[in-house]
C-alpha cells in the first residue's frame, strides 16, 4: 500500500518516531489508514531485518543495494513456490536474511590476507552465519515434509498411507 503523506503528517510521524506521544495521537487521528500504514512500514520484522542487513553491508552504494534487494527477491521467489503457507513465508524470510549475512561474512573472511590469529574471528563468524543459514533451510525442508501431501489408498481391505 502506498500512502501519500501530507507535510503535517510527515512532521508528526517524525516526532512520533522520536518518542513524542502527543504527535503519535495526532497522527492516529489524522490518518484513517494509520494501522495499515504502520503494519506495512514497521510490522514485517523479516523485511525490516533484510533492509537493515542490506544497508549495513552496502552503505550508501545504491547500485549494490538494488542488486542485493533483487538477489534477495530472487531467492525468496525460488523458495516460495506457488502457494507458501504463512509458516513457510516466515522461514523463507529467515533464510533470505541468513543468506545475505552468510555471504557477507564469507566475503569479509576472504577479503584480506591476515595472519592466522587475526583470521580466526572472521572464520568463526562465517561458520556461525553458515550454520544459521543451513538451520533455517533445514527447518523449511522439515516443515514442507510435514505439510506435504498424504495420499490414502484403499486396496481391497488394506489401507495404505503414502506420503
- pLDDT per position as a tens digit, 56-109: 999 999 999 999 999 999 999 999 988 999 999 999 999 999 999 999 999 999
pLDDT tens digits for range 132-162 = 999 999 999 999 999 877 566 667 667 666 6
Is 138 within the bounds of a domain?
A: yes
Q: How many CB atoms lie within 10 A of CB 57?
A: 18
Are residues 31 and 97 part of one domain? Answer: no
Q: Residue 125 above 90 pLDDT?
A: yes
Instruction: Write out the residue range of the structural domain in which residue 32 sits.
Output: 7-42
Are residues 95 and 36 part of one domain? Answer: no
CA–CA distance, 161 with 79 (Å, rounded to integer): 27
CA angle 88, 131, 163 (to 5 degrees): 40
Are residues 94 and 27 part of one domain? Answer: no
Is 156 within the bounds of a domain?
A: no
Q: What is the DSSP string of 19-44?
A: T-HHHHHHHHHH-TTHHHHHHHHHS-
Are residues 64 and 134 part of one domain? Answer: yes
Are residues 86 and 18 part of one domain? Answer: no
Are residues 83 and 26 part of one domain? Answer: no
Task: Give the residue with greater pLDDT, 30 vs 128.
Answer: 128
Are residues 37 and 52 part of one domain? Answer: no
Is 1 within the bounds of a domain?
A: no
Q: What is the DSSP string of 52-68?
A: HHHHHHHTT-HHHHHHH
Is 85 within the bounds of a domain?
A: yes
Are residues 118 and 51 part of one domain? Answer: yes
CA–CA distance, 162 with 122 (Å, rounded to integer): 46
Q: How high is the pLDDT of residue 97?
A: 97
pTM score of the predicted model: 0.74
Are residues 91 and 34 part of one domain? Answer: no
**Number of domains into which the chain is organized:** 2
Are residues 118 and 71 part of one domain? Answer: yes
Is 70 within the bounds of a domain?
A: yes
Q: Give mean pLDDT, residues 117-145.
A: 96
Amino acid at each position: 500500500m502506498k500512502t501519500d503523506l501530507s507535510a503535517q503528517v510527515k512532521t508528526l510521524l517524525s516526532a512520533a518516531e522520536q518518542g513524542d506521544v502527543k504527535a503519535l495521537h495526532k497522527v492516529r487521528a489524522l490518518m484513517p489508514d494509520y494501522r495499515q500504514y504502520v503494519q506495512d512500514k514497521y510490522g514485517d520484522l523479516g523485511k525490516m531485518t533484510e533492509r537493515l542487513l542490506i544497508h549495513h553491508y552496502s552503505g550508501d552504494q545504491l547500485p549494490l543495494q538494488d542488486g542485493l534487494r533483487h538477489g534477495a527477491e530472487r531467492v525468496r521467489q525460488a523458495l516460495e513456490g506457488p502457494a507458501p503457507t504463512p509458516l513457510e513465508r516466515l522461514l523463507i524470510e529467515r533464510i533470505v536474511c541468513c543468506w545475505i549475512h552468510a555471504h557477507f561474512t564469507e566475503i569479509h573472511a576472504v577479503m584480506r590476507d591476515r595472519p592466522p590469529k587475526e583470521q580466526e574471528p572472521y572464520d568463526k563468524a562465517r561458520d556461525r552465519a553458515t550454520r544459521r543459514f543451513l538451520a533455517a533451510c533445514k527447518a523449511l525442508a522439515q516443515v514442507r515434509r510435514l505439510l506435504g501431501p498424504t495420499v490414502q489408498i484403499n486396496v481391497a481391505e488394506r489401507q495404505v498411507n503414502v506420503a
